Amino acid sequence: RKKEVVPKGCRLVIAHCVNPYGMAWSRRMNENNVDLNRNFLLNENEHKNMRVNEGYQALHSFVMPEHRGNRYFDHARFLLEAGWLLLTKGRPAVTQALAGGQYTHTDGLFFGGHELQQGPRKLVECLKSLGVNESNTKLKRVAHIDIHTGLGPSGVDSILADIPKGEHTHTLAQ
């Protein structure tokens, strides 16, 4: 079988992990409870200007209750409230409210942070040092391939790529 090589004029950069804390503790968030998938807002003002996720606002007290009592009662209450939310709002709306991320509750689920975190910041600095930035006029295109082990079945990699099918880089990514 013929080995694929990186085409002339292309650069391949492999970053193993930008969230070592999450990797060590099997969590998607880092040590600051920031979901790094929602933290790659590169302009420092983007974090300040993020719209409020109204759907998450309505669900925050449900997914992050302040008071916990008897675990059996809490579990039963959770199931009843979850059923009610799904019946009244619908599964797509609840899923979007949670998975859409949020930037208001530092203790909440899918919190995107108020500033670029250390892992993403170091990756961006590395890429800039390699010429992957807005000021590089020779740069024509960037293909970003994100391999996740946290999606789908446990231990199975999922490749997330925003590359149009048919392009040579799409073939390489597969």
Per-residue pLDDT tens digits for 39-52 = 988 777 777 778 89
DSSP state letter for 26? T
User: Which of 130, 139, 140 lies closest to 15, judged by CA?
Assistant: 130
Residues of the chain predicted below pLDDT 50: 170
Q: What is the distance, to the nearest Å, from the Cα of residue 17 to the centroid of all Cα atoms in its chain?
A: 13
Q: What is the pLDDT of residue 118?
A: 94
The whole-angstrom separation of Cα 172 and Cα 174 is 5
> Token pair of 56, please?
């998450």
Q: What is the pLDDT of residue 149?
A: 61
Q: What is the pLDDT of residue 163?
A: 59
Q: Is the distance from CB of 111 to CB of 103 less than 8 angstroms?
A: yes
Q: What is the pLDDT of residue 11?
A: 81
The whole-angstrom separation of Cα 34 and Cα 37 is 9
Angle of helix 71-89 relative to helix 54-63, nearest 10 degrees, comes to 160
Q: What is the pLDDT of residue 71?
A: 75
Q: What is the pLDDT of residue 112?
A: 92
Q: Is the pTM of this model over 0.85?
A: no
Q: What is the pLDDT of residue 162?
A: 60
Place of tokens 């590395």: 126
Q: What is the pLDDT of residue 5?
A: 78
Q: What is the pLDDT of residue 109?
A: 92
Q: What is the pLDDT of residue 132?
A: 86
Q: What is the pLDDT of residue 55?
A: 92
